[in-house]
Every structure is written in structure tokens, then in C-alpha cells.
Amino acid sequence: MAELETFRAETRAWLEANCPAEMRTPLRSEKDACWGGRSFVFQSPAQKQWLDVMASRGWTVPDWPKAYGGGGLSPAETKILKEEMAAIGARPPLTSFGISMLGPALLKYGNEEQKTKYLTEIALGQIRWCQGYSEPGAGSDLAGLQTKAEDRGDHYLVNGQKVWTSYADQADWIFCLVRTSSETKHGGISFLLFDMDSPGVSTKPILLISGNSPFCETFFDDVKVPGDQLVGEVNKGWDVAKYLLGHEREMISGMGLVGEKQTLGASVGEVDPLLRAEIAAFDVDALAFAAMSERFIDQLKAGEAHPAMPSMMKYAGTELNKRRHELIIAAGGSDTLEWDSERSMGGKAARDWLRTKANSIEGGTSEVQLGIVAKHILRLPGA
């Protein structure tokens, strides 16, 4: 305990000295997040300074091994770092699907060359990734995917289409599920990594009801992918895919934690007593979810979490986030329905509310998550 208290004091002092004041303000939108990558344009010198200083210490991925650009911190030290960052309102230095999804999968299934190259680039914010999973005919039934990769000896030739590919038009590389055999449904899937600038790759944004386009259609037309960019074994990519999905669902469940440092009741103005009671009930549920999430993360880091728990957390977190934004709209009245004005920050409340509707679809629908919980945790008959 004495060592951890020393670490906390040193971490607090270091953050105080190195976190720019501008990086201690809440993110106003996704545009304020630092995604990194070869084409990323920093919003300010302070944003770049914060990324560089944290990356140099390995604290963009504090619990990753130092050999791969991480901080080499223990779970307890990582928790302290997050607590001390939250205490001063520090923004995450880097937001990355490489950190939240691909990184854990590479740590488990990647070879040494892949881990040294890609994990280090992720940790430094040098590469931005997107996820090539869902297809027009393979969403909830992901194993039904048909994007094909033909083995041509030293490379694979990839043809097909992905859909709902988040930020594909801004990503540098993609981690992609492809079919390398049609003999069995799950056994014929492989996991490839390749550059989005490869000849034959194209993207098309999908406009959502919120007016924004984080999602894209992605097309592959005779894309050549070097053979050494296969992760794990050929035809065994479903194992990698499932492991990564668990981490994706953990990431998405975090939406339920937004604003847990300040209750919703404290952030809204005067409302009628009935709505105030709904908001109070929400705040109780949000605090309970925060406690459950902390316990889940501790179990996950210790390797003690049930394999289906990410599905439970994903369902609870996304439904909680939808509830939050429903209440924000209700509490704000007609003002929150403004769409374009400067006063409403371009209709932020309305657009955020509409965006939450996708939370219960992306990463596996709420219905699919409930089915997983029913079958693997509750063991209900017929599930």
C-alpha cells in the first residue's frame, strides 16, 4: 500500500506539471478527441503536447508492456492513474480503436513482429484503425460474412464489402474479417490487417438521422494483402474476432459512464417534480452501473470475468446512455430541439440524442446481447 501511495503522489505531481490547462476541459464533441494517425490534424498545440508527453511515458496505454510502447503499470497503478486524471479533469490523450479493440487481440494472438510494429505505432498515436466486421448480409449473424480472401502464395487477394465501418474514410489501416474457406461457417474465417490506401480499397460515408456520418460502406476490389499481415492462424480468425468483440463491447459499455462524476440532476435546471423523480432514479442507476463497471474491469484484468460479461455490460451501458439523453431532451424542452444555431452548438443535444439510437445496434444488437446473457450467464432453458 505504501508503494501505491507513493505512486499516486508522484503521478499527481507529474500530471499537474505536464497536463496543459486546455486539456483539462471536457470534450465538447468527437472533434475534440485526439484520434492520432498519419492524417490527423491536431486541434491545438496543447492537444499534440498532451499526446506526446503521455506517449513518451507509455501512458496512452499504461497497462501494456513497455516493449510495445506501454507503461508497464500494474492494474492497481493503472487504476490510480485514471483516478488522478479524472481528479483534474484531464482528457484522454488518445482515442483509438487500436487501443480499445485491436491492441488486446494482438497482445493475445499476434506474433512478435506484429506486436512490436503495430502496438508501438498505436501507443504513439501514429496509426488510426477501423474495423471491417459487418457486411450487408452479415450483421448480427457475423459468421455469415462473404468478403473473400484468396491465398495467392505470398499474398491474399481480397474482394467484398463491409458496412457500418466507423471512420473508415479517416482510418489508416483496417483489421478485417475475411472468408478463406467455405467448408465450415465459423472455421473458414481469417483475420487480416491492411492499409486503407491499398489499391482497390474505397469508402462511402453513410448519413445518419443525426446529420453526421461516423459510419461508412467499405469496398474491396482485388486488394493485395501481404501474407504476413494475417493475425493468428488461417481459418481460425473467429477466435480472434470473438476475443476482440468482448473488448469492443467493454468499450461501448463505457457510454453508460459518461458524466458519472457529476449527476444528471446537478447538470439540469429547474424541471417539474415528476421529471425530477425520473432523473433521480436515473442518477441512482448510473452510480450503480459505475460501481458494477469498476468491479467488472477489475475482474477482467485479473482474468476472472465471465466470457459473457462484456455482453451484459454493453447492454446495460448503452441502454443507460439512451436513457440519459432522453432525459436531457425532456429537461431542456424545446431549446434542445434546435438543430443549427450557435446557441445550441449546432444542435448538439438533439444530434447526441439521435446518435444514441445506434448504441443498441453497433457492437451487437441489444437483442443479441440479451440472448448471450440468457444462454451463458442465466442458463435459461431454450435460450
- The residues annotated with a catalytic role in the active site are 248
Within a 10 A sphere around the Cβ of 85, how many other Cβ atoms? 21
**Rounded-to-integer distance, Cα 134 and Cα 380, Å:** 28
By C-alpha distance, which of 66, 57, 123 is closest to 96?
123
DSSP track, 3-16: HHHHHHHHHHHHHH
Measure CA of the first residue to CA of the last residue in the chain; give whole Å: 45
The rounded Cα 212 to chain-centroid distance in angstroms is: 18
C-alpha cell at 67: 516493449
Q: Which backbone phi and psi does 239 adopt, to 5 degrees?
A: -65, -45
DSSP track, 198-220: STTEEEEEE--TTS---EEEEEE
**Cα dist. 52→20, 56, 124, 279, 376 in Å?**
12, 6, 8, 40, 43
